[in-house]
Amino acid sequence: MSEFRSKHNREERSSDKGLFNSLHSRKSVAPVIRSTEPLSKLALFIRFLKPVTWIPVMWSFLCGAVSSGFFGWHDITGIKFLLGMLLTGPLASGTCQMLNDYFDRDLDEINEPNRPIPGGAISLQNATILIALWSVLSVITGYLIHPLIGFYVVIGIINAHLYSANPIKLKKRLWAGNSIVAISYLIIPWIAGEIAYNPNLTLTSLQPSLIVAALFTLSSTGTMTINDFKSIEGDRQVGIRTLPVVFGETRAALIAAILINLGQLLAALYMLLVGQNGYALVVALLVIPQFFLQFSLVRSPSTMDVRYNAIAQNFLVAGMLVCAFAIKAAKP
């Protein structure tokens, strides 16, 4: 009987030890389990490029083209505009998104484990090859539109590194991260649109676009803050100091709302100063629906962030295009 108990105790200890090891060991098959659905190579690549992030950059290029005064709707089918959309969409924006995923792979393990790199669908080697190829194609396409735009693309790619890559990693540094993204998403493509279509470009003629793009960049900094609510838990764990992490969700939402409204209202004021009163009124009116949506955002930032951006952003980008037409109308 004593011998049986001894054997039974050894088996229990062995079972407990096995259970302990299984609970504390790293699951080597985790990347495979994370994949929720099989994707073709093309679908996986498109997901890596994050198409939803292209739209603001493409829109900014359009606004810059309109504000140049030399762009007409017939130009939409022209090769220059098509190259501009290709550049600001899948190429340059796609490159920056791939870079962000590459450098944020540890953070995505917490926030978005099904992303291609942390999920194991794209290896680091393949990601590096894709990023290098896409970077070269982006610079070449920018150069084909205008040599200066090729230089702008290089600046945008450098900004993407500054935002995501250690040791600088500006996304850890509160205002700096959202600001550099807003500049890359708005000022750079807006001015690129001006450069692409204005044959008589001078610093004086570019000044209205620079001012309006900078003011909408202030608003865009606020919308970037709203994007931070979805990753607040992972940001806390790895020490990334976003506004929601530092100030809390409610205060961060309030700050974001103030920035969003302030940039647009200042743009409307600038329209008044250049004598475009009708356009100024339209821009100001477009702030009103955003203002009412912000009440729900401030009350529950973590549940209203996606819905707010999906609805309110439409009014903000409409205001951008209205300002572009105003700048065009104000040109001599």
Question: Per-residue b/e over 207-219, b at no fewer than 16 CB within 10 Å?
Answer: ebbebbbbbbbbb
CB 264 within 8 A of CB 286: yes
Q: Comparing C-alpha atoms, which of 295, 297, 316 is closest to residue 307?
A: 297
CB 228 within 8 A of CB 273: no
The C-alpha atoms of residue 142 and residue 130 are separated, in whole angstroms, by 18
On the 0-12 / 13-18 / 19+ scale of CB atoms within 10 A, 301 is buried
The C-alpha atoms of residue 259 and residue 220 are separated, in whole angstroms, by 8
Would you list the domain boundaries of the chain? Answer: 46-199, 202-332
Tell me the CATH architecture of domain 202-332: Up-down Bundle (1.20)
Cis peptide leading into residue 31 (ω within 30°): no
Q: What is the pLDDT of residue 277?
A: 97
Q: What is the pLDDT of residue 16?
A: 44
CB 183 within 8 A of CB 214: no
pLDDT tens, residue by residue, 37-85: 556 888 888 989 999 889 999 999 999 999 999 998 899 999 999 999 9
Tally DSSP H helices, then E strands, for the chain.
17, 0
pTM comes to 0.84
The C-alpha atoms of residue 316 and residue 219 are separated, in whole angstroms, by 8
The C-alpha atoms of residue 325 and residue 222 are separated, in whole angstroms, by 24
Q: By three-state DSSP, how is residue 146 classified?
A: coil
pLDDT tens, residue by residue, 178-190: 889 899 999 999 9
The C-alpha atoms of residue 216 and residue 25 are separated, in whole angstroms, by 49
Check residue 158 and report its DSSP letter.
H
**For residue 173, which phi and psi values (nearest 5 degrees)?**
-110, 50
CB 174 within 8 A of CB 86: no
Residue by residue, pLDDT tens for the chain (332 residues) are 444 444 444 444 444 444 334 333 333 333 434 444 556 888 888 989 999 889 999 999 999 999 999 998 899 999 999 999 999 999 999 999 999 999 988 877 777 788 888 888 889 999 999 999 999 999 999 999 999 999 999 999 999 999 989 888 888 887 788 889 899 999 999 999 999 999 888 888 899 999 999 999 999 999 988 888 877 877 787 778 888 888 899 999 999 999 999 999 999 999 999 999 999 999 999 999 999 999 999 999 888 988 998 999 999 999 999 999 999 999 87
Helix H, strand E, coil C: the string for 197-244 is: HCCCCCHHHHHHHHHHHHHHHHHHHHHHHHHHHHHHHHHHHHCCECHH
Q: What is the pLDDT of residue 36?
A: 44
The C-alpha atoms of residue 239 and residue 231 are separated, in whole angstroms, by 12
Say which CATH topology domain 46-199 has. Answer: Tetracycline Repressor; domain 2 (1.10.357)
Structure tokens belonging to residue 193: 């649109």
Check residue 77 and report its DSSP letter.
G
Helix pair angle (175-182, 147-164), 10° resolution: 160
**For residue 241, which phi and psi values (nearest 5 degrees)?**
-95, 75
The C-alpha atoms of residue 264 and residue 12 are separated, in whole angstroms, by 68
The DSSP line for 157-206 is HHHHHHHHSTTT-GGGBTHHHHHHHHIIIIIHHHHHHHHHH-TT--HHHH
